[in-house]
Amino acid sequence: LADGKLTMDVGEFATELRKVITDAGEVRYAMTDPPLTGNVLEFKTDDDGKPVIVIDLVTDVYTFSKVD
């Protein structure tokens, strides 16, 4: 969070994340900058309760977890 904006920086690119509420009331975050403009991610927990980021690219879903 910087200057009031939530930003994801993956090294190759950075994008602002804007909060989106689904019709079901679930919170997601839309990427606003290329190359993934409009794609959505979600902050969740895995089966062990550890935080993960899930990115839904429509054709594929990617889950990222912290590496120790």
Q: If you search the block for the tokens 């930003």, which residue do you land on?
A: 7
Residue 2 has pLDDT above 90, yes or no: no
Q: 41, 28 in Cβ contact below 8 A?
A: yes
pLDDT of residue 53: 95
Residue 68 has pLDDT above 80, yes or no: no
pTM of the model: 0.82
pLDDT digits (tens, 9 = 90+) for 9-67: 989 999 999 999 999 999 999 999 999 999 999 999 999 999 999 998 889 999 999 88
What whole-number distance in Å separates Cα of residue 56 and Cα of residue 61? 5
pLDDT of residue 58: 84
